[in-house]
């Protein structure tokens, strides 16, 4: 068993299981880059580790439809489109859209549901309903000749969920009675004490927002959070407001969810954005993307007065019914400040109970460990701090410390005679998607971007004649992202010219050597004069 992602980061969840030469993968998600990955669009799990083994892959199981679990599926299937992909109806619907965008055909998507059991190769798979912040999430019980594994996927244990579909603890109990070798458990909220608040407990705050909103009302939330949208929809119906979706992913996902029966949209509730002007402000609620302050999202554009259709100002209300993902604080507060400045009243998780997490907190995890009583535990889905906290919970319920494995992506974990053991470690680095390239931009390029982004660069170009030993043209010294004052390079240009001439007179006979002369001169000067370390890019052309 080797995790290809999600152990050490929150995102790019993926794990492979190998029995007798056959490989099963569970989830294949993306990680969203942070400030240490400038310019990167997505980060993939360590798919290079299975590149040579694609023919041995008997199936990909998807636990649910969030991007951090399905986002990298196209990058796997474009190498072998017919790998059987197993998932619930909604999950596969989201995957299908994604594959269409990537123009991947001849795929083999197989719908499964809770309670169903199927065998693929040496893997006997049984699916168990779990509750999460997207409908139709599944845990998977994997029975093999080598032992049994229960993988929770992402889950929480809301006991009164909107759709009545609770995490099936009776099934967990049966797994436990049968005897479980390895329990792989969502760690996201393992550091959070107590129990995750019920989804429906945000209703009072939502009712208050609807009751007090006299003008426009805009609700921003994740575009996959069907139940959150359902709550907004229900309040809208009660308040006699029409609903408008704004944002490409919101429109696409909610249309799918309604078609498949996961979202109940009463007739005549939905209107198109183009028709919004036919209604008064208080007759509409806008459900929008952009809850994380994404600069190009509808909500950010509304906050900056840049949206082509929607304006918001005095008397209007914006509800951010969403979490605040670490790293996004500044962007989100920028949106809140922009809206506040325009006179909009902003309700968010900082000032009202308008969001609850989708993951089980410590108290819920304890229930799971006590119900399943696994022989071995491997925390998944989280940064190291989460994984360690989750392992401690397992240990507190009686799982022996030596039977809990806290490992990171790339670890090779063996299950033999009911005992897990870390037997190796593969290099499971980041694969960056940047524009249309995959794995073409790496750490070296990111290091360059960091220097360029912090300090800019100075370019110096000279043309020399190596035969005559003379400086033909230049040096021309210019800069970008660096101090922009007129004439700042005048002195150093003369100095570098002299240095080049001296080097040529002393017999310098290759351009590389002369480039080093320019680099050193400029580097010293800029460091002394500006206490700065821009990238220096010297080019010497020989004619």
Q: Which residues are catalytic?
A: 186, 359
Nearest residue to 61 via CA among 149, 165, 172, 140: 140
Q: What is the DSSP string of 263-286?
A: S---TT-B--GGGGGGS-GGGEEE
Please list the helix, strand and coil fractions of the chain in percent, rounded to the nearest 5, in that order.
35, 25, 40
Q: How far is the CB of 498 from a copy of itself (least distance, A)?
A: 19
Q: How far is the CB of 455 from a copy of itself (least distance, A)?
A: 5
Number of residues that bind a copy of itself (CB under 8 A): 65
Q: Which two tokens stand for residue 300?
A: 């950010």
Question: Is 508 annotated in some ligand binding site?
Answer: no
CB atoms near residue 314 (< 10 Å): 9
Are the CB atoms for 147 and 181 separated by under 8 Å?
A: yes
Per DSSP (E only), the strands in 104-234 are 108-111, 117-120, 123-130, 137-144, 147-151, 182-186, 217-220
Question: Is residue 20 a contact residue for a copy of itself (CB under 8 A)?
Answer: no
By CB under 8 A, the residues from 360 to 419 that bind a copy of itself are 383-385, 388
Question: Is residue 313 a contact residue for a copy of itself (CB under 8 A)?
Answer: no
Among 173, 396, 423, 440, binds a copy of itself (CB under 8 A): 440
Question: Is 66 annotated in some ligand binding site?
Answer: yes
Distances in Å between the Cα of 333 and the Cα atoms of 20, 288, 319, 339 are: 52, 17, 13, 10
By CB under 8 A, the residues from 319 to 348 that bind a copy of itself are 326-327, 329-330, 333, 336-337, 340-341, 346
Distances in Å between the Cα of 395 and the Cα atoms of 185, 210, 359, 374, 392 are: 13, 45, 20, 11, 5
Among 308, 436, 507, 512, binds a copy of itself (CB under 8 A): 436
Phi/psi for 89 (5° steps) reads -60, -50
Residue 8 vs 374, nearer CB to a copy of itself: 8
Which of the stretches 95-103, 126-134, 241-249, 480-488 binds a copy of itself when contact is defined by CB under 8 A?
480-488
User: Hey, which residues does 415 pair with through a beta bridge?
Assistant: 420
Distance CA 66, CA 135 (A): 10
Among 211, 422, 476, 494, binds a copy of itself (CB under 8 A): 476
Q: How far is the CB of 197 from a copy of itself (least distance, A)?
A: 17
Question: Is 154 annotated in some ligand binding site?
Answer: yes
Distance CA 530, CA 433 (A): 36
Are the CB atoms for 125 and 119 separated by under 8 Å?
A: yes
Among 100, 421, 480, 524, binds a copy of itself (CB under 8 A): 480
Which of the stretches 133-141, 173-181, 372-380, 473-481 binds a copy of itself when contact is defined by CB under 8 A?
473-481
Among 31, 441, 508, 517, binds a copy of itself (CB under 8 A): 441
Name residue, tokens 């893997």: 123
Question: Is residue 352 a contact residue for a copy of itself (CB under 8 A)?
Answer: no
Question: Is residue 461 a contact residue for a copy of itself (CB under 8 A)?
Answer: yes
Question: Is 223 annotated in some ligand binding site?
Answer: yes
Are the CB atoms for 354 and 319 separated by under 8 Å?
A: yes
Binding mask 512-541 for a copy of itself (x = CB under 8 A): -----------------xxxx--x-x-x-x
Question: Is 468 annotated in some ligand binding site?
Answer: no
Distance CA 164, CA 198 (A): 12
Are the CB atoms for 171 and 140 separated by under 8 Å?
A: no
Question: Is residue 261 a contact residue for a copy of itself (CB under 8 A)?
Answer: no
Question: Is residue 304 a contact residue for a copy of itself (CB under 8 A)?
Answer: no
Among 455, 493, 519, 525, binds a copy of itself (CB under 8 A): 455
The annotation places the binding site for Zn(2+) at 64, 66, 68-69, 132, 154, 381
Binding site for Ca(2+), residues? 39, 41, 434
Residues in touch with a copy of itself (CB under 8 A):
8, 34-36, 38-39, 191, 326-327, 329-330, 333, 336-337, 340-341, 346, 350-351, 383-385, 388, 434-437, 440-442, 444-446, 448-450, 452-457, 459, 461, 463, 472-474, 476, 478, 480-485, 529-532, 535, 537, 539, 541, 543
């Amino acid at each position: 068993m080797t995790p290809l992602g999600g152990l050490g980061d929150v995102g790019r969840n993926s794990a492979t299981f190998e029995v007798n030469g056959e490989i099963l993968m569970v989830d294949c998600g993306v990680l969203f880059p942070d400030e240490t990955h400038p310019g990167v669009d997505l980060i993939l799990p360590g798919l290079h580790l299975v590149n040579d083994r694609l023919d041995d892959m008997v199936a990909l199981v998807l636990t649910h439809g969030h991007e951090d679990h399905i986002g990298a599926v196209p990058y796997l299937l474009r190498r072998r489109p017919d790998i059987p992909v197993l998932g619930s109806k909604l999950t596969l619907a989201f995957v299908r859209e994604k594959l269409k965008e990537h123009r991947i055909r001849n795929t083999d998507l197989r719908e499964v549901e809770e309670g169903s059991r199927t065998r693929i190769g040496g893997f006997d798979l049984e699916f168990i309903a779990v509750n999460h912040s997207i409908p139709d999430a599944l845990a998977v019980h994997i029975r093999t000749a080598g032992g049994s594994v229960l993988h929770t996927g992402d889950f929480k244990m809301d006991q009164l969920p909107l759709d009545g579909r609770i995490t099936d603890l009776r099934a967990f109990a049966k797994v436990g009675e049968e005897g479980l070798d390895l329990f792989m458990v969502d760690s996201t909220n393992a550091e959070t004490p107590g129990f995750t608040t019920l989804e429906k407990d945000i209703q009072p705050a939502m009712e208050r927002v609807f009751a007090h909103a006299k003008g426009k009302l805009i609700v921003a939330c994740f575009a996959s959070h069907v139940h959150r949208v359902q709550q907004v929809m229900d309040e809208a119906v009660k308040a006699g407001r029409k609903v408008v979706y704004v944002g490409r992913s919101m429109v696409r996902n909610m249309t799918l969810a309604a078609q498949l029966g996961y979202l109940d949209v009463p007739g005549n509730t939905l209107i198109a954005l183009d028709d919004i002007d036919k209604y008064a402000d208080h007759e509409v609620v806008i459900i929008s993307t952009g809850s994380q302050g994404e600069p190009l999202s509808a909500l950010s554009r509304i906050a900056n007065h840049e949206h082509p259709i929607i304006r918001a100002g005095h008397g209007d209300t914006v509800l951010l019914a969403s979490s605040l993902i670490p790293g996004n604080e500044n962007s989100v507060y920028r949106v809140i400040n922009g809206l506040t400045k325009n006179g909009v009243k902003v309700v968010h998780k900082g000032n009202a109970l308008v969001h609850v997490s989708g993951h089980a907190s410590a108290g819920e995890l304890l229930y799971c460990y006590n119900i399943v009583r696994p022989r071995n535990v491997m925390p998944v889905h989280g940064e190291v701090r989460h994984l360690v906290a989750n392992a401690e919970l397992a240990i507190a319920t009686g799982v022996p410390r030596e039977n809990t494995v806290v490992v990171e992506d790339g670890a090779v974990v063996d299950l033999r005679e009911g005992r897990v053991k870390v037997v190796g470690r593969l290099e499971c680095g980041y694969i960056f998607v940047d524009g249309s390239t995959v794995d073409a931009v790496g750490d070296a390029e990111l290091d360059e971007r960091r220097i360029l982004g912090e300090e800019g660069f100075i370019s110096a170009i000279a043309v020399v004649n190596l035969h005559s030993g003379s400086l033909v043209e230049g040096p021309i010294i210019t800069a970008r992202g660096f101090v922009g004052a007129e004439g700042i390079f005048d002195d150093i240009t003369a100095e570098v010219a002299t240095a080049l001439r001296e080097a040529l007179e002393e017999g310098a006979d290759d351009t590389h050597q002369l480039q080093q002369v320019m680099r050193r001169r400029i580097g010293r000067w800029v460091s002394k004069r500006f206490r700065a370390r821009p990238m220096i890019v010297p080019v010497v052309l020989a004619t």
